[in-house]
Chains A and B, each alone.
Chain A
Amino acid sequence: MIERKERKPYWRHTKRQMLTSLVPFLIALIIFPIYAAELNSNKFLGFPLGYFLACHGLVVIAIITVSTFVNRQDALDHWHGAHEDK
């Protein structure tokens, strides 16, 4: 069980973790399609780069975002003693 004085630092770290995960993902979500037309003249794995980023790139970034978040947030929970007791 978490100690009372640990709650503030725990929440500060949690907020920081949420922002570091969410903001890059949102930037990618907005930026990739906007620049897709310009990037399409380049080639990556046989794909036009703009299409590749707007479709596959976002999916890959989403998967990386969630999986790193799951691990980092779990480490944070354990560090502050906020984890579930099983």
Chain B
Amino acid sequence: MSTRASTQALNPLIGIYFGIFVASLTGIVVLLLIFEQLGVVEARLRQILLFGSLALYAAIGIAGLTTAPAEYLLAGRRVPPFFTGLALTATALGGTGLAAFTGAIFLIGLDALCVPMGVIAGLVATALLIAPFFRKFGAATVPGYLAMRFQSPAVRAAAAVAAAAPLILVLLAEIKIGVLAAGWLLAAPDTVLVLLVAGSLLLIAIPGGSRSLAWSGAAQSITALLAILTPAMIIAVMVTNLPLGQLSHGPVLRALGRSEIAQGFPLTVAQAWLFDYPGVEPRPIDGRFATPFGSIGAAAYVLTALTVMAGIAVFPSLLGRVASATGVYDTRKSIGWGVFLTGVIIMTMSSIAVFYRDVLMHQIAGTSPVATPAGFRTLLDLGLATVDPNATRLTASNVSFRRDGVLLGLPILMGLPASLVFLLAAGVLAAALAAAGAALVQLAAILAEDVIAGPPTEPRAPRTRLLAARSSVAVVAILAGLAASVSRRDPLDLVMWALALSAGGLFPVMVLSIWWKRLSAFGASAGLMAGFAATAITLVLAVAGILPIPAELSAIVGLPVGFGVCLVGTLVSPPPDRAMLEMVRDLRIPGGEPLHDREVRLARQRRHPASRERRTR
């Protein structure tokens, strides 16, 4: 039994299935709108949306039940580009991205774009530098790729640590944001919500692993896209009379800029290294929206964008999604879809932020705290905004906003039907589940295939492999649920740390393993360990407040260290042998058999020369 994907073609009905999914989702939302008009209690509506959408994802996950390791680990390598692109979008942004970036853009304006722009740049960089080659190699996990590329168990161990750490952080962050979003839909204690989120992850991931994840992840991304685009479109029509708020919020923004000047917003210029990204505590809006470098310095802005780019470009859960694409050309194409969809979401988020600020400046500011519009009172009741108790007149500086509640706040403030607000919460939950699921499955694959098992060339019964993978998923999900219920950290912090660790640890080795054929196994393992250790130490010292740099920027230490040690380690060790050079040359050519499959097949032939498998191609 090899990891070779089955040659079974893609189900031609897949488009119809997803048509049915979109229709049933739309059906649920339209039904909710009708029920709402008929006067059904809001709590019931929320429960219908929460359990309805979770049931749809779980059904898709269970329908992906499989008993073949190639399906469980690689989704049979037959996820077409658009669906991979959808999954990449939700995995790259996650629920954290949807909720936190919108809030951050609203609170500090243009400065907050450094992280989302880094995400989109990371997708571009992975399309050009890494993903197509990773797909050609054909490994299911990042440590699996590096270990076979350098024929070295040391690299496997180092890469397993360097890949697992960011995945654990992202898994925690996404479960936490999923719990927050589920809490908007279901009034229950946090423990119940953690159980609900982790339980849905188990239902989605255990039956079919990567295969279940591919299809339910696509469904979750569609939910997230619809959830954010529909209210944004309605609000855009209300404010600008045009449905494309992403392209029509310009005049609103200029009017906003004029009233910011009229109300005397200070024109601050931050120190080049200041990094004041909004955290979970409520805070008032800060600085003029369209003027850069008020809360984040120029150097910090550019370096954040670049380190986030490096982190996303090699992020193990994204590469895990790419591994199940149909081919090398299709990998490039699917990242193209990912860039397009991520770009649309980022532009939507910034249009939402502009409309929110506009409403705040023109309708809320100036009113008395006791006579505010009804929508604003709802915000206060929900705790999404707080007013300074001494305020006699509301201004932009005495109203504080909770960062993650901004996405929900605008439709409430504009008086949109409650069902659409709940849909947004369901969208955040969907994106969180997609990103958490991708991290969970990749983490479980690393545990089952790279840590527990030996080299993949050792023959193992498919049943053992599946059992190991399934139990890893269960163990990881349960541990992550437990950790998420005790962790008090801001989810965005966890994501930023994860990106820093993946940038500092994995980026140098992953890039050089493809683009520099001289890189030796010693250089790779040394660079991997040094880069990861340097980033991790910087991160810990910065979080503890000992180092004066922002913890989110730890990769600026790890990246040069990683590249430097790779370089020096390679130059002091003997050059790679012919077989390894041959492997790099093959890795660079899109055509031909995936190298991982070829290595596994050849090793088996050497071990059992009698029972030589016939080549299928």
Contact = CB atoms under 8 A, between A and B. Distances in A.
A46 B125 contact: no
A21 to B, nearest CB: 6
B292 A37 contact: yes
Interface of B: 110, 113-114, 117, 120-121, 123-125, 127-129, 246-251, 253-254, 257, 289-293, 298, 301-302, 305-306, 309, 327-329, 332-333, 335-336, 339-340, 343, 346-347, 350, 515, 585, 588-592
A32 to B, nearest CB: 9
Pick the 7 closest A-B CB pairs, nearest first. A46-B250, A47-B250, A59-B343, A51-B290, A46-B251, A66-B336, A36-B292
Given A7-B589, A51-B253, A54-B113, A74 B290 contact: no
A30 B300 CA distance: 11
A45 to B, nearest CB: 5
A62 B116 CA distance: 13
Name the prevailing secondary structure of the A interface residues: helix
Nearest to B240: A46
B347 A66 contact: no
Given A45-B250, A56-B247, A59-B346, 6 more contacts: A33-B110, A33-B302, A37-B293, A51-B110, A59-B120, A60-B343
Contact of A83 (B293, B305, B329, B585): B329
Contacts of B588: 7, 10-11, 14
A73 B129 CA distance: 12
Interface of A: 1-2, 7, 10-11, 14-15, 18, 21-22, 25-26, 29-30, 33-34, 36-37, 40, 43-48, 50-52, 54-56, 58-60, 62-63, 65-67, 69-70, 73-74, 77, 81-86
Contacts of B117: 29, 33, 54, 58
B361 to A, nearest CB: 16
Q: Which of B305, B329, B589 has the most CB of A within 10 A?
A: B589
A85 B248 contact: no
A65 B309 CA distance: 15
B253 A47 contact: yes
Contacts of B254: 43, 46-48
A81 B591 CA distance: 8
Given A66-B339, A69-B332, A85-B591, A40 B129 contact: no
Nearest to A58: B117
B253 A84 contact: no
A74 B363 CA distance: 53
A84 B591 contact: yes
A29 B121 contact: yes
Q: Which of B128, B254, B306 has the most CB of A within 10 A?
A: B128
